[in-house]
Amino acid sequence: MFGKRKRTTSMTSKKPDFQRGLAAFEAEDYAGAVADWLPLAERGDAEAQYRMGQLYARGQGVVRDFGDAAHWFRKAAEQGHTEAQFSLGLCYANGEGAAQDNALPVRWYKTVAKVSPSAAEANLALLYPNGLGIGPDIAQALHWCRLAAEGGHAEAQHHVGLFHAFGQGVPQDLAAAADWYRKAAEQGYAVAQHALASLYANGQGVERDLDQAVAWYGRAAGQGYVNSQLALAIMHEHGTGVEVDPARAADLYRQAAEQGHPVAQVNLGLLYARGHGVPKDYSETLKWCRRSAEQGNVNAQFNLGLIHSNGLAGPPDYTEAAVWYRKAAAQGNVGAQVNLGLMLAHGWGGRPDLVEGVDWLRKAAAQGHSGAMTNLGALYASRDSKAYNPVQAYVWTIMAAAATQPGPEREGLEAKAHELGADLSSEDRHKAQVVMEEWKKNPKSVAMA
């Protein structure tokens, strides 16, 4: 028994070792990492304290607890650990670990405190010795991020730039933001390179310099930073700061599109539709627009509706077109609202649904779309239509004329409105005037039935 007791003592008294903990962490043995790092953290080892903060923030080897994460980050940060300073700054910026009303310990605490406040406080201290977390505190966030930034931490430098760019914790100062972005950008931090490029592109905080914008976008894009790939593609497509180069634009759009960027995907698809920089190929347009549309991109959804309704990549498919037009229309795309409204009202590709069709046309009209107004006027003016309504026909035609640029089209609408108005009684013309006045006050709320 004596020998057995000695072996047990030897096993439990094994000295904590940071490298052994690191090896355990890399092997995803998080409990093993805690066994080595926690004793070191409690003895004041800054790196171990930082690592424990990470484990608590991620819930690896311990119960996830932002209060404990912030506790260990602070311990390391106060010793000058730049990563911990930055992590603590993020905790304050985001309010991570702040008490949430729906969190179990908070609900428990509020319930017990009603009965016995002293017992609640005592039990809370036992269960959560480092607190439930920290609330948002921009001043503290800026303080710790700045310390890390001054210590050369690139991501912290970028974040300090963000504080200045958006005026959080400091007065808004885009020139100061540019200085901080530059520090991080020169260390190769792609996000800061993109941010600095954007300032140069827009002349914010620095003199507008498209050469510098292209250079910094290029450095970030070369690291695979998707937003810079997109920005640089747009510049090459439109010749902003560089020669127009649709082939280069297509290459950059493709790089971003293959990373899943929905705007790059639809833009690449449209290059295929026009045959700019790539061979004209509507099947490629369909492929890339579908990928973008499935992520909710409204322009891609609208373009899919066009492709299917016009049969650009196969036989026309009004059912499929309606699916995508409806998705885009629901997001407020006025073109989709008009096209869907017309499809439904006229029954293109299926059974007419006049009520829904008119509803979509009205939604487009509420956004000032003169074509929607013109089509509504025509629907209401047609004696063969179930929607026939002379007052509404007059209202929409006269409003369409007012929304149309001067020229033959407007003159034609005005003549049609005069013709329709001549057939109305004075009472009906008065009704129409009232409707138009109400429409001008609030187009979206007026019932036009």
pLDDT over 90 at 93, yes or no: no
Give domain limits for the chain. 368-440
Question: pTM of the predicted model, to two decimals?
Answer: 0.81
d(CA 109, CA 101): 10
Alpha helix (H) ranges present in 95-245?
104-115, 117-127, 138-150, 154-166, 174-185, 190-202, 210-222, 226-238
Residue position matching structure tokens 């322009």? 299
- Note the pLDDT tens digit of each residue in 413-433: 999 999 999 999 999 999 999
**132: which 2 tokens?**
């439930």
Q: Of 377, 322, 374, 395, whose CA–CA distance to 353 is shortest? A: 322
Report pLDDT for 103.
41
**Do the beta carbons of residue 18 and residue 35 sit within 8 Å?**
no
Please state, in angstroms and as integers, the Cα–Cα distance from residue 55 to each residue in 83, 132, 133, following that order.
14, 16, 15
Q: For 272-309, how does the pLDDT look when each residue is reduced to its tens digit (9 = 90+)?
A: 999 999 999 999 999 999 999 999 999 999 999 999 99
Residue 123 has pLDDT above 80, yes or no: no
Least confident range from 5-9, 137-141, 146-150, 252-256: namely 5-9
Structure tokens at 225: 């930073």
* Assigned token pair, 139: 């001043």
Distance of CA 1 to the CA centre of its chain: 66
> Which residue in the block uniquely carries the two structure tokens 């972005």?
181
- Using 50, 70 and 90 to split pLDDT, how confident is the model at 350? confident
Tokens of 280: 């004209």
DSSP alpha helix (H) spans, 203-297: 210-222, 226-238, 246-257, 262-274, 282-293
Model confidence at 5: pLDDT above 80: no
Helices then strands, counting H and E runs in the chain, come out as: 25, 0
Q: Which helix (H) or strand (E) covers residue 149, if one does? A: helix 138-150
